[in-house]
Amino acid sequence: MDTIKYQLRDDQIPTSWYNIAADLPRVDPPLHPGTGQPATVDDLTGIMPKQLAEQELTLERDIEIPATVRQIYAQWRPSPLFRARRLEQALGTPARIYYKYEGGSPAGSHKPNTGIAQGFYNKEAGIRRLATETGAGQWGSSLALAGAFFGLEVKVFMVKVSYHQKPYRRALMHTYGATCVPSPSTETAAGRAILAEDPDCPGALGIATSEAIEVAMNDPFTNYAGGSVLNHVALHQTVIGQEALLQMDMADDYPDIVIGCAGGGSNLAGLTFPFLGEQLRGGKQVRVIASEPEACPTLTKGQVAYDFGDTAQLTPLLKMHTLGHSFVPPSIHAGGLRYHGIAPLVSQALQDGLMEARAVPQTACFEAGLTFARSEGIVPAPESTHAIRAAIDEALRCREEGRSEAILFGLSGHGHFDLGSYEKYMADELADEGYDEELVARSLARIPAPFGQV
Ligand SMILES: *Cc1c(COP(=O)(O)O)cnc(C)c1O
């Protein structure tokens, strides 16, 4: 038996985004960094349009997707869901493995699902330019795509180590008409302060975020656009899980386990929240697994606290699992997973026992990536291999226990721009970074009081 594809019709693209905050027993609001009071829509509109600020704070369950956004989604949505029969055979497992593939978007990942939405609302609000951060370049190229579609300038601060590791992502941003500089840069006060302390700083998403927010705060026609973590970003990604629910139905099956890789938590949220919503409203139970890198173990080793989303402390305080906003993770090849915090909604789901988390080393992930590529044909992004590692481990457990469980994982993007990393892995040049306990402890100690220890 061969791999099977479950494809929906264009008119089955979801008409609304699903907001899990409506169904969670408790959500803690973002706080204004100056007053410590819950942030208001007005507090946020300095750097984002009103509709996105409202989506950030709302407890409404279903948010209508604008017709223009759905029309653009139709270029790659509904995205396919596959039953990985060839992978099942390669593993000799009785488990039924499914994956939802987001690599078919023009930028090659799930990120345009929110990039297009953010481009749309900013254009409507009369904004001319968007500033953002990017790790491996997936988000920068997704926002650059949105900039090209909506006629917006896009300025990207790219984490320096990735800027050099992933030259083709940079080239893709330029191809779409965006500008991209390595971060920390000398263009902002935040970047200059970091460089003064550490001229060889490899950069981090938290630093690049500070640079982008600073640029947005200093120009009324420039807004900030976030690629992960924020509530409205997680919200936009829920088209993934809503489609997957319909596709599992087509397959006449339902997942026992749903797995996503976790950087800032947006693709994980997008795939798993609609399933958790079913469960929270009395439907079927699922086991949800977040798979994160051992080198940046936010969910497994972080603390739950109100912390900043960026190094220079410009963002509202977000209640989340965090390694501390000053943490600079080791330079692993899954650049999109090098973030000190996590989406507050994912953090809450983990605290509520709706999710479990595990940390996996990068070589074991590349090994899983190769197994997947050789059986299913798609070369996964290094970030996505973290979900594949967890899915394969669960499938092997099923083999040992002789159980036939259904496992669904999110394949968040393709790895065509990451083949250099695959070559390094195959040449035995990749090491496991682990994480530096002392560095984490020092960074955790810098979480702001009195909000820090909750
Ligand atoms: C950015 C990225 C991630 C990590 O971001 P999340 O917000 O955690 O989803 C994962 N996979 C791919 C392919 C990415 O580009």
Going by alpha carbons, the residue nearest to atom 5 of ligand 1 is: 263
Tell me how far apart the alpha carbons of residues 3 and 375 are, in angstroms, rounded to a whole number.
9
Tell me how far apart the alpha carbons of residues 299 and 308 are, in angstroms, rounded to a whole number.
16
In the prediction, which pLDDT does 454 show?
44
CB atoms within 10 A of CB 66: 15
The predicted-structure confidence for 126-143, as pLDDT tens digits, reads as follows 999 999 999 989 999 999
CA 438–ligand 1 middle distance (angstroms): 27
Going by alpha carbons, the residue nearest to atom 10 of ligand 1 is: 383
Going by alpha carbons, the residue nearest to atom 15 of ligand 1 is: 138
In the prediction, which pLDDT does 436 show?
84
Q: Which one of 165, 273, 383, 421 would you pick to mutate in the ligand 1 pocket, going by the greatest count of ligand atoms within 8 A of its CB?
A: 383
Q: Which one of 101, 110, 345 would you pick to mutate in the ligand 1 pocket, going by the greatest count of ligand atoms within 8 A of its CB?
A: 110
Closest atom of ligand 1 relative to the 229 alpha carbon: 7
Residues of the chain below pLDDT 50: 452-454
CA 35–ligand 1 middle distance (angstroms): 32
Q: Which one of 159, 228, 229, 388 would you pick to mutate in the ligand 1 pocket, going by the greatest count of ligand atoms within 8 A of its CB?
A: 228
Q: Which one of 76, 159, 267, 299 would you pick to mutate in the ligand 1 pocket, going by the greatest count of ligand atoms within 8 A of its CB?
A: 267
Closest atom of ligand 1 relative to the 414 alpha carbon: 13
Choose among 266, 255, 260, 233: nearest CA to 6: 255
CA 207–ligand 1 middle distance (angstroms): 18
Tell me how far apart the alpha carbons of residues 297 and 443 are, in angstroms, rounded to a whole number.
13
Burial class (CB in 10 A: 0-12, 13-18, 19+), 282: exposed
Going by alpha carbons, the residue nearest to atom 3 of ligand 1 is: 336
CA 263–ligand 1 middle distance (angstroms): 6
- Helix axis angle for 50-57 and 112-124, nearest 10°, is 130
Asked whether the beta carbons of 24 and 345 are under 8 A apart, the reply is: yes
Closest atom of ligand 1 relative to the 265 alpha carbon: 8
- List, chain by chain if needed, residues with CB within 6 Å of any ligand 1 atom: 109, 111, 138-139, 228, 261-268, 336-337, 381, 383-384, 412-413
In the prediction, which pLDDT does 85 show?
98
CA 34–ligand 1 middle distance (angstroms): 30
CA 261–ligand 1 middle distance (angstroms): 7
CA 336–ligand 1 middle distance (angstroms): 5
Question: Is the pTM value of this prediction over 0.75?
Answer: yes
Closest atom of ligand 1 relative to the 342 alpha carbon: 8
Domains in the chain with CATH codes? 4-9+67-108+232-449 (3.40.50.1100), 28-52+111-228 (3.40.50.1100)
CA 267–ligand 1 middle distance (angstroms): 6
Choose among 338, 271, 223, 231: nearest CA to 110: 271
CA 346–ligand 1 middle distance (angstroms): 14
Going by alpha carbons, the residue nearest to atom 1 of ligand 1 is: 336
CA 100–ligand 1 middle distance (angstroms): 14
Let me know the angle formed at the C-alpha of 395 by 97 and 78, rounded to the nearest 5 degrees. Answer: 20
The 3-state DSSP composition of the chain as helix, strand, coil percent (nearest 5) reads: 45, 20, 40
Tell me how far apart the alpha carbons of residues 453 and 438 are, in angstroms, rounded to a whole number.
19
In the prediction, which pLDDT does 453 show?
44
Enumerate the β-bridge partners of residue 399: none
In the prediction, which pLDDT does 452 show?
45
CA 292–ligand 1 middle distance (angstroms): 11
Asked whether the beta carbons of 97 and 52 are under 8 A apart, the reply is: no
Asked whether the beta carbons of 415 and 379 are under 8 A apart, the reply is: yes
Residue type, 401: E
Burial class (CB in 10 A: 0-12, 13-18, 19+), 199: exposed
CA 252–ligand 1 middle distance (angstroms): 29
In the prediction, which pLDDT does 334 show?
86
